[in-house]
Structure 1
Amino acid sequence: MAGVAVLMAVLLSSVWGRGLGSLAAAGEPLGGMSPVGGGVSLVAEELLWDRLVVGPLAASQGGVGGGGGGSAPSWRLSWSLASAPPLLEELAVDESCRELLRDFANSCASLVDCALKNARPVRLCEDCIPQFHNFWGNFDNISKSSGNISCSTQLLRSDRLQLVLKLYRFLQEIWSKSNCDACLNESKTELSADSLIFKKMLNNSLNCFEQYSSDHPNHNGQPSNLSILCTNCKESYKNLTAWYNKMQKNQNLCIDIEDAMNLTRQLWSKTYNCTVPCSDTIPVIAVSVFLLFLPVIFYLSSFLHSEQKKWKLIQPKRLKTYSSVLNIQDQSSCSSAIT
C-alpha cells in the first residue's frame, strides 16, 4: 500500500509539472507564481484542472448533458470541496486531537528518514533511538484520553482504514524485527555494555584492516601482500569473533551487530582472503585416530589374553559299566587259574 501511494504521488507530481510546462509554452496565463516556494496560483490550478481532468472527462462523455459542456462546473466544485473541507475537519477531529496528530505525523516522518538513512550499513538501533522514543511518546499521547475528548477514538478507530494505528504497528514491527532491545540497556536509551565492547573490538579490527591494506596497496587499491594483513590482524579478528559468539549464545544480538559482523567477515575472507586456523586441529586428529584403531586393539587384546579351552573326552556311562564288568571277570579268571 505504501509503495502504491508513493508511486501515485510521483506520477501526479510528474503530470502536474508537465501540465504547467505545457500551459506556459502555449502562452496561457498562469495567474502568477508564488514568490516563496514556487507555488502555483489558484487561477493556474483551475486552468490546469480544466485541461487535464475536466476536458478529457467531458470529451469522453460528450453524449451526456449536451456535449459535455455542462459537466465542467460540477467537476470544479468537487475539486474545491475536496481541497478545503473545514467543516468536515472540525466534525471528524477535535482541534486538540489534531495537534496530537500533527506531532505524531512529524515523529513518523523523522523516524522513517532516520531509518532509511541508516539502512546500509544497518545502524537503526544505535542511531535512531531518539526518533523511536519521540514516536512512542506521541502515540502514547494519542492513546490517552484528554478530559472529555478521546483522541484514541477519533484518530485510531473512527474509520475502517485505521491509518494511524496501521502506521504505528508498521514502524513498531521494524523495531521488533530488528531486535533492538537485545543490544540496548534497560532504559532503551543507549547501547548496553556488551554492545559497547563489541563496537570497540570491531573498530580495532577495522582499523587494523585499513592500516595494513593502505601500507601495501597495488594498482587496484587492494593490499599486494595479504599475508601481512592476515598475520597482524588475526588476533583482533579472533577476539571479535569470540565476543560475537558469546553474545550470540546469550541472545544479545540486534540487527546492527549482526550486519556489522557479516560485513567484517566478508572483508576478512573474501576481500583479503584470510583464514583463521583452528587451534584444536591436533587434538581432534589424535582422538579420531584413537577411535579408528580402538576396535583393532580390543580384538587383539582379547585374543592374546584369553585362555585356550582344552577338549576333554567324556566316556559314556554304559561304556564305563561294561569295562568294570570285564575287569571283574578278568580278576575271577585269574584267581581260578591259580587255584
Structure 2
Amino acid sequence: MKYYILLLLCFGFTVLKADTSLADVYFGLTYNGEGYLYPFPEQCTRLLDEFADYASNFTKCSIKHARPIRLCERCIDQYVEFDAKYQELLTTVVNGTSCRTIFISHDRLDAVLDYHDNILSVWNKGNCKTCFDWSSTTPQLLNSTNRFNKMFNDTLGCISDNLNQYGNNSEEVCQKCMQTYIQLDEYYKSLSVDAIGVDSICMDIVDSMNTTRSIWSKSLNCCQLRKTPELIFLCCTGIISLLPILFYLGVRFCGPIRDLPKVLRQSRFKQSILQSVDGRIN
C-alpha cells in the first residue's frame, strides 16, 4: 500500500513538472492550521494587499507630519481608508472561509493585528478623533477646530508681518500683536475647559498653541512687557502687608509709657456669694 501511494505521488509531481516546478507548487499552497493544504482565497489576499498599502500610506503620512504635528488634519484620509480596509478584512467571508481567521490572531507573531494596533495607538495618543465631526459619512473638521486654526494663522501672520516691518524691534511687534495673541490664548483655555483638560484636546491644536507660546515668550520675549506692572503690584502688596506690623512696633517702642491704675473688679457671682454670707451672719 505504501509503495502504491508513493508511485501516485511521483506520477503527480511528474505531470505537474511539465507546467510548473515543485517549488512553485509548494509556495502556491498554504497550511490552514487544520491539516489541509489549499491556496488562500483570492479576495482575502487582495484585501490583505490593500490593507498593507493603506497602513503604509498612513505610516508615511504620520512620519512626514510629525513635526510640527499636523498628523490629525493631514492624515485623516489615510486613516479612514486604513480603518475601513481593516474592518473589511475582519468581516469578509469567502466560501465559508473568513479572512480574519486566516490573517488575524492565528499565530504568536500576529503581525497584521500588531501593525493595526500600533497605528491605532498613534492616532489615539494624538486625540485626533476630537478634531473632527464624525456624524456624517466623511469626517469634517469641527467648527472649534476651524476657529482655532484661523486665530492661530492670524496670530502668526501678525507676528510675521510686523517682524518684516520692524525687524529686530520685538517690543513693537509684541505691542502690535498683543491683542491677537491674548484672544488666541483665551480661546485655547476655553477649549481646555470644554475638553476637561489639555490631555483631551486634539494634538494638532496643542502643538500649535505650544509653538505660538514659545515664539511669544522665548523668541520675541514679549512676556517682559508684563514684568513692570507685576513688579509694581508686588511691591505695593508687600508695603501694605507690612503697615500693621510697623504700626504695632511703633506703638510698642515709641509711644509714651503710662502707669495704669489697677482696678479690681468683682464678678456678680462673687458679689452674690458675699451678700448671702453677710445675710446669714446678721
In structure 2, how many angstroms separate the alpha carbons of the residues matched to 1:310 and 1:272?
Answer: 70
* Cross-structure match for 1:277: 226
Q: CA RMSD in A?
A: 3.4
In structure 1, distance between residues paired with 2:25 and 2:243? 88
Contact 2:131 2:202 in 1 (8 A): yes
Change (3 A) 1:166 1:313: closer
- CA 87–172 in structure 1, closer or farther in 2 if over 3 Å, else same: same
Report sequence identity in percent.
28
Instruction: Kindly indicate whether the alpha-carbon contact (under 8 Å) linking 2:152 and 2:184 is maintained by their aligned counterparts in 1.
Output: yes
Out of 91, 96, 102, the residue aligned to residue 144 of structure 1 is 91
Name the CA distance, whole Å, in 2 between partners of 1:214 and 1:313: 85
Residue pairs, 1:222-261, within 5 angstroms: 223-250=167-194, 251=197, 253-261=201-209
1:196 to 146, 158, 161: 146
- The change in CA–CA distance for 1:294 and 1:269 in structure 2 (over 3 A counts) is same
Whether contact under 8 Å (2:130, 2:201) holds in the other structure is yes
Matches within 5 A, 1:275-314: 275=223, 277=226, 281=230, 286-287=236-237, 289-294=239-244, 310-312=261-263
Q: Separation in 2 of the partners of 1:142 and 1:297?
A: 82
Is the CA contact 2:170–2:221 (under 8 Å) kept in the aligned structure 1? yes
Q: Which amino acid aligns with 2:262?
A: W
Match of residue 163, structure 2, among 210, 213, 233: 213
**Alpha-carbon distance change, 82 to 203 in structure 1, aligned in 2, over 3 angstroms:** farther
- How many aligned residue pairs are there? 227
SS in 2 for 1:243: helix
In 1, the alpha carbon distance for the partners of 2:123 and 2:103 equals 23
Matches within 5 A, 1:1-339: 81=23, 85-88=27-30, 91=38, 93-146=40-93, 148-187=96-135, 189-216=139-166, 223-250=167-194, 251=197, 253-275=201-223, 277=226, 281=230, 286-287=236-237, 289-294=239-244, 310-312=261-263
Q: Label 1:226 to 1:278 Cα distance change in 2 as closer, same or farther (>3 A).
A: closer
RCO greater where, 1 or 2, for CA within 8 Å and sep 6 or more? 2
How far apart are residue 236 of structure 1 and its match? 0.9
Preserved contact between residue 129 and residue 190 of structure 1 (Cα < 8 Å)? no
Greater share of strand: 2
* Code of the aligned partner of 1:168: H
Letter in 2 for 1:274: C
- Give the aligned residue type for 1:161: L
* Greater Cα radius of gyration, structure 1 or 2: 1
The offset of 1:298, in angstroms, is 8.1
Q: Indicate conservation of the 8 Å contact 2:28/2:39, yes or no.
A: no
Aligned-partner Cα distance in 2 for 1:226–1:278: 16
Q: How far did 1:297 drift?
A: 6.3
For 1:124 and 1:266, the matched residues in 2 are separated by: 20
Change (3 A) 1:83 1:191: farther
Q: Compute the displacement of 1:186 (Å).
A: 4.0
Paired with 2:131 and 2:245, the residues of 1 have a C-alpha distance of 50
Distance 1:191 1:96, change over 3 A: same
Deviation at 1:180, TM superposition (A): 1.1
Q: In the aligned structure 1, how far is the partner of 2:247 from the partner of 2:184?
A: 44
Deviations 1:56-99 (A, max 9, x none): xxxxxxxxxxxxxxxxxxxxxxxx94998112387363222112
TM-score after normalising by structure 2: 0.68
Q: Which consecutive unaligned segments of at least 5 residues does structure 1 have?
A: 1-79, 217-222, 315-339
Partners of 1:97 and 1:185 in 2: how far apart? 32
Change (3 A) 1:278 1:151: farther
Deviation at 1:270, TM superposition (A): 2.7
